[in-house]
Structure 1
Amino acid sequence: MAPCEHTSRVAPADLWCHCRLDFDLAVVSIEDGQGRPTQREEELVASSVIVERNVEVPMRDATLTRANVFRSSGGGRVPTVLVRTPYSKDAVLGQTTTLDPFRAIDAGFAVVFQDVRGRFESDGELAIFEEATDGVDSIAWVAGQPWCDGNVGMTGSSYLGLVQWLAAAQRPPSLRTIVPINIGRPPYMHELCYASGGIFKLGYVLWLISQFFGPETARRRVSAGRADSDEIRRVLGASDHVEDLARWRPLPTLPLFLENPVAEWYEAAIRDDAASGDDPDALSEHFAKIDLPVLNVGGWYDYFLPGTLTNFTRMRENVGLEGADNEQRLLIGPWDHMLNSRSAEYDFGFAAGAAAMDFTGYQLAHFSHFLNADTKRQALLPRVRIFVMGENVWRDEEDWPLKRSRPEAWYLQRNWRLSTERPAADERPDHYLYDPAEPAPTLGGAVGLPGLVQGINVGPHDQRPLEARPDVLVYTSELLRRPFEVTGPLNCTLYAATSASDTDWIVRLCDVHPNGASRIVAEGTLRARHRNGAGRSSAVRPGGAERYEIAMAATSNVFLPGHRIRVDITSSSFPYLEPNPNTGHRLGEDGTDEIVPALQTIFHDPARPSQLLLPVVPR
C-alpha cells in the first residue's frame, strides 16, 4: 500500500456520520470544537473501523490520485464500494446522496472515497469526460488491495454517476455493479448543456463554469503561479450576478468565460449547438459495451431524469447482456438533483425523503446481492420503485413505462379550456408576444441554477406568478370528480406559428389545487429549428403553421378530486434556458441589438388539434 497522510481507527475530522455499531444507531459528530462523540462512541468506532486518509492511488500515467479508505478493523477480504468524486472526498460524507460508510462496513463492505484527477488532493489536471481509463485503474487498484475480495461496486450522484458509466463501458473485470444517481445518458456533453429539444441550459452552464469548474481550478492556477488571487475572486463572485451574466450577448464574449480555466470546454458546448442530440446508433453502441447490473436512481424534479430513464430502458433492451432484463433496477423519488423532497413552497411528506426511505439501506441491499457470494446474497430489489405524487406514496412496479397505462389526449380549447373532447369547427387560435429582452423567469421544475438561485427555484413551485404574464397561455380542465393518475412519459403535439425564423416552445403540465395553487408537474421544451430531430435543423417559415412534437419529462402524479389539470405554454424560462433571439442564427452569434420579438400563434381547431398526450393509469 502506498504511504498515506493519516491512518486512524477513528473517523477523520470535519465529517458528520451516522454510525450503526453494536446494532445501536448512534449519531456521531467528529467536528472539531463542537459535539464531540462520547467516550463510549469513540471506543465503538475505534474498535470496529479503520480510516486511512489520502492513500495514494496511482494511474497508468503515474499521476497520483488520493483516496480515503473506510474498512473494518476485523481483517479479512470484503467486497468494496468505490466513490470517485470531483467535489472533495473529505466533504461528501453526510450528504443525502452519499453512501454511509459506517453502515456499509457494518454490512460487510469496505468503502473508498477518491478525489478524481485534478481535484483537491489528487494530482494532475481535471479531464472531464475522460474519466474512463482513470476509473478502470482505480477499480483495479481497489480490487488488488489486501482488504478487498476482488469484487467492486460503484455509487454516486451526478458527476459521480458519470464516472461510473464511463468506467463500466470499459468492462473492468472486477466491477460487478454500479449505482448511478441523477445522471444523464450519452453523449454526456450534450445532455449537460442542452435541455430536451435542443435549448441551451444557460443557467446550468453558468453553474458549471462559476461553481464547479472555476473555484478549484483557479485555486490550482494560483498555487502554481499561473494566475493571481483576483481570478478566484472573479470566479467566486460570478454567481452573485446570475441574471447579468445570462443577459450577456454574444455569449462567447462573456468575460467570465474568456478568463475561466475551462473556457475551451464552454466554447465546445456552444459549438455543439444541439447538433448531436439523440443518436440511436451511438446509444446502442454505448450500452452494448456494458455487461453488468445497474441500479438507476433519479428524481421527478431532477434535470437529468430523461437520461436516467433512458439508461434504464436501454440497459433492459441490451441484447449483449445475458439476463439484462432481469438485473436492471430503477428508483425514482419526488426529488431534485440533491434528493431533496421539499422545496421552498411544498413538502411531499416525511416518507418521501431519501433518509426516511433509507436510501443507504436500499443501496446496501443492491450491493449485497451483486457483490457477495451466493450464501450471503440478499434478495433482489423491486425492478421499479417510484414515488406517486399527489397521493404521496411509494409503489413497486414490474416495468417502466407501465404496461397498464393508456394514452389519453387532452385538447386545448377556446375560452382557455382543457378537455378530452376534440376541438369544435369554429375554434380560433390564441396569440402572445415573446420578447427575448423580457423573458419569462424560471420558477420551479427540474432546473439547475447557480448557488441560492437554485435552491429557491427547484421543484413544484406555484406557477400563478408566471401564468399572470401576457406571454404565457393557460388552459385548464374542469374540476376532477375522482382520482386521475398520470404515470409515464408525456408528449405534447403543438400546432403553432411564429413571426420569426426560429423560436422556442415550452409546455408545462400543472396540478391546480383547491386553494388555486398551480404546481408544476412536468415540462417539455423544443427549439423550433430542431423540430425534425438531431442533425436535421432547419429554419421555420415565418407565419407558417407547423406541427411540433414536444417530448416532456416523465412523471407520476395523481390529480386528486377537487383538483384541475392545467397546461401552460410559453417561449422562455430565464435564466435556466437561453432566451431564443428569434433570428435563426446559431447559438452565440447574436448581439443585444440583433434580437427580435416574435408573435406566437397556437392553433386548436379540428385540422390542427393541439393536445397533451397523458399516460393514464386506470383505477
Structure 2
Amino acid sequence: MLNVLPPETASMTTRDGIRLDADIYRPEAEGEFPVLLMRQPYGRKIASTVVYAHPSWYAAHGYIVVIQDVRGRGTSQGEFRLFAHEVEDGVDTVNWAAKLPGSTGEVGMYGFSYQGMTQLYAASGKPAALKTVCPAMVGYDLYADWAYEGGAFCLYANYGWAIQLAAETARLRQDAIAFRLLYNASRNLPFYDGDPRLDESLRKYAPHYYEWVEHHQPDEYWQKLSPNLQGADLPMLHIGGWFDTFMRGTLRLYREMAARSAYSQHLVVGPWGHLPWGRKVGMVDFGADAASPVDQIQMNWFNRFLKQWDRPELEMPKVALFEMGSNQWRSHSKFPSPQPQSYYLLSTGLAAMDEREGLLGTASSSQEVVDTLVHDPWRPVPAMGGHASAPSGPGDRASIDCRSDVLTYTTVQLTEPLTLIGEMVVEVYCQADTPSYDLCAVLSEVRPDGRVFNFTQGYIRVDNSQSPVRISLQPTYMQIAKGHALRLSLSAACFPAYPVNPGTGATFRETRLIDAQIMTLSVGSGGNSPSRLLLRDL
C-alpha cells in the first residue's frame, strides 16, 4: 500500500455556475491513477465511513479519491432539492474529476443509499469517463422501492430521513431554533399529530416529504424523479442487505441490468440492515463471515475495470449471497428463482388466541374455517426489526405473536432443513368491516426454546373489495434448521413502520388521528378460501 497525502479541498463549477466542493485524497507517488468518486449530502468528511473504509484506504491502493458535497450541502453552493440536479451535476463532476492532475481520465463511483443514487443519476447521463459504478442499497423505483410498499407509505424510514435532511439544511442556514426542534424530534419521532412548529420547519427545509405523501400513487411525478438508465450501460457491482429498506430496489436494478447489459453485472447481498454492515444484526449474531467484505470486493472490482488487471484473485462469483441460518456465503451464476411451493393456512378458528391452533401444511383442508382478529388503533401491533423500522434485523417477536390481534400459523418441527430464497408471497382470503385495511405478513423461525426470530416481511394497503389479497415479502435467503419451525404471522398494523390505516379509505395525507376506527378482519382458510404461503424452496 502507498502512503497518502493529506486531503486537499478543490472546487469545480457546474454548467449553470454553481460551485461544488470536494476533498481529494491522493497517493504519495509518481504516476497517473484512476479516480474514485463519491457524491453525498451529509457532509463530505463523513465519506460514508459508517459502512466503508476511510477514503485514505482506497487512495493507498493507488487511486485518487474524490468525496464531494452535492449541491446545497456541506460547503457546496446552490439550493439542495432532492435528486433534482443529480444528473447534470453528476455528469459535470465526472468530467471534472477525469481531468484532475495525475488522473488517468477514468472514473469509478461508489457509495450507498443517497450516494448510491447519485451513481445512477450520473450514469444516466452517459459521461464517457465513467467506466464503472458500485451502487449499494438503492431505491431504483423511488415509489415502489423507497417511498411506498404495497401502497402503504413507509412512515418510519421516510419521516426520520426527512427530519435528518431538514435539520442539516437548518444547520447550514444557521436557523438554530428550527435545528434544535428537528434534532429533538429525530431522537423521539412524533408519529402522531405533531407540533405545528415542527411541521412548519419540515415544510420549509424538507418539502419533498409532503410531495411524497401527496403522490400516493405511482404517477408521472415518480417516473420523472426516479433515475432513467435507458440507453446507459456499464459494469455494475450491486450491493444489498436482506434487512435493508431498499433491498427491493437493489434487486430490481440488478435484474434489469443483468437482463440487458453487455457488461459484467455482479450482486453481493449480506445479512445487513441499511447500516452498519456487520455480523450482529438485530438480536442475531450471524458469525464472523457476516462482517462486511465490501471494501475488498470493491477494490478488486475497481482494479479489474479501472486498472485492467487480469488476475485470478480478482475473479468473483456473479452472485454472492449470504445464507442466514447456515451463516455462510453462497455463490450462484444468477439470482436463484426456484418454483414456488404452497404451504396452506390451517386453523381451528383460534389462531389469534393460541399459537398451537394455527398451522402451515402442504395440503389445504376441505373445510373452510375463519379466524377473526380485532384491530384497535389505540394499541396497534408494533413494528419489530425487519427492514422497515429500526433497529432493523431479526428480533424475538414471541411476545408480539401472543397478542390476540395477531394470527399465527406454524409448521410442525422440521425433519430436514428448509432453505428459502427470493421473494415469497402470502395469498390471503380476507374481509374487513371497513372500506380499507392493512395487512402485515411476517415470516419467522421458531426455535425449540420458544424464541421467534423474524427474517422477512411484507405489507399492503387493501381496498376491501380485493380478494384474495397478495402480499409480496422482502427478498431473503434463509435456512431454517432441522427441529425448528416456520411461522407466518398476520396483523392489521406494523406501527410506526407504516401509518395506522384509519379504515375510512382516506389517504395518509387526509388522515387525522381522531378518525381511526376499530376494525374486524376475517381470514379464511380451507374450503373456498385456501389462503396460502408461496415459498421458494431450494
Shorter-normalised TM range = over 0.9
- Listed as ranges, the matches of 1:323-334 within 5 Å are 323-324=262-263, 327-334=264-271
Residue among 163, 170, 180 paired with 2:135: 180
1:377 and 1:605, CA in 2 relative to 1: closer, same or farther beyond 3 A?
closer
User: Could you tell me which residue of structure 1 aligns to residue 208 of structure 2?
Assistant: 265
Equivalent residue for 1:336, pick from 273, 288, 291:
273
In 2: Cα distance, 1:498 partner to 1:81 partner: 54
Give a deviation string over 1:494-542, Cα, whole Å, max 9, x none.
111011101111101101112111111110111103xxxxxxxxxx34x
* Residue pair 2:143, 2:218 contacting (<8 A) in 1 also: no
2:191 aligns with one of 234, 238, 246: 246
The Cα shift of 1:206 comes to: 1.9
- Tell me the alpha carbon deviations over residues 215-252 of structure 1, each in whole angstroms, 9 at most, x when there is no partner: 22002222xxxx4x21111111112332xx21117xxx
CA distance 1:154–1:430, shift in 2 (3 Å): same
Q: How does 1:552-563 map to 2 (within 5 A)?
A: 552-563=473-484
Per the TM alignment, residue 348 of structure 1 is displaced from its structure 2 partner at its CA by 0.6
- Equivalent residues in 2 for 1:144-293 (5 A)? 144-186=99-141, 188=142, 191-195=145-149, 197-211=150-164, 213-222=165-174, 227=175, 229-242=176-189, 245-248=190-193, 255-260=197-202, 261-276=204-219, 286-293=228-235
The Cα shift of 1:309 comes to: 0.4
Counting only pairs closer than 5 Å after superposition, residues 382-531 of structure 1 correspond to structure 2 as 382-400=317-335, 402-403=336-337, 405-415=338-348, 416-448=357-389, 454=390, 457-529=391-463
Identify if the C-alpha distance between structure 1 residues 166 and 133 changes in structure 2 by more than 3 Å, giving closer, same or farther.
same
Tell me how far 1:278 sits from its aligned partner.
12
After superposition, residues 567-606 of structure 1 pair within 5 angstroms as 567-606=488-527
Distance 1:408 1:254, change over 3 A: farther
Single out whichever of 71-80 and 562-571 deviates more from structure 2: 71-80
Check 1:528–1:375 CA distance in 2 against 1; reply closer, same or farther (3 A cut): closer
Counterpart residue identity of residue 185, structure 2: A
Segments of structure 1 that go 5 or more residues without pairing to the other structure are 1-19, 22-47, 449-453, 530-539
What secondary structure is seen at the aligned counterpart in 2 of 1:307? helix
Q: Does 1:105 align with 2:98?
A: no
1:71 counterpart residue number: 26
Q: Provide closer, same or farther for how the CA distance between residues 146 and 240 of structure 1 changes in structure 2, counting only shifts above 3 A.
A: closer
Verify the 8 A CA contact 1:485 1:558 in the aligned structure 2: yes
Show the counterpart of 1:551: 472
**Native 8 Å contact 1:88 1:120 kept in 2:** yes
Structure 2 residue aligned with 1:115: 69
Answer whether contact 2:47 2:54 (CA < 8 A) is retained. no
Q: Which amino acid aligns with 1:200?
A: F
Which residue number in structure 2 is paired with residue 53 of structure 1?
Answer: 8
Inter-partner Cα distance in structure 1 for 2:182 and 2:265: 41
Whether the 8 Å contact between 1:410 and 1:418 is mirrored in structure 2 is no
1:581 maps to amino acid: P
Matched residue of 1:300: which SS? strand
CA distance in 1, matches of 2:14, 2:53: 25
Matched, 1:310 2:244: no
Q: How many aligned residue pairs are there?
A: 527
Against the structure 1 CA distance between its residues 377 and 345, is the aligned structure 2 distance closer, same or farther, given a 3 Å change threshold?
A: closer
Q: Name the CA shift for 1:278/1:410 in 2 (closer, same or farther; >3 Å).
A: farther
Greater mean alpha carbon deviation, residues 471-480 or residues 287-296: 287-296
> When the two structures are superposed, what TM-score results if normalisation uses the length of structure 2?
0.93
Tell me, in whole angstroms, the C-alpha distance in 2 between the residues paired with 1:438 and 1:255. 27
Cα deviation digits, residues 534-571 of structure 1 (max 9, x gap) = xxxxxx34xxx711111111111111011000000001
- 1:364 maps to a residue whose letter is M
Please give the per-residue CA displacement for 1:139-197, whole angstroms capped at 9, x wherever unaligned: 001001121111100000100001111111111111111111111112x25533212x0
Is the CA contact (8 Å cut-off) linking 1:287 and 1:314 kept in structure 2?
A: no
Question: Paired residue for 2:351?
Answer: none
Distance 1:56 1:376 in 2: 36
Tell me if structure 1 keeps the 8 A contact 2:238–2:250: yes
RMSD, aligned α-carbons: 2.3
Q: Is the 8 A contact 1:487 1:556 kept in 2?
A: yes
Matched residue, 1:533 = none
* Per-residue deviation, 1:421: 3.0
Listed as ranges, the gaps of 5+ residues in structure 2 are: 349-356
Alignment-mate amino acid for residue 398 of structure 1: S
TM-score (norm 1): 0.81
> Residue in 2 aligned with 1:7?
none
Q: Match of 2:88, SS?
A: helix
Question: What's the CA shift for 1:308?
Answer: 0.5
Contact 1:444 1:458 (8 Å CA) reproduced: yes
CA deviations over 1:457-501 (Å, ceiling 9, x no partner)? 311101112111111111111011111111111111111101110
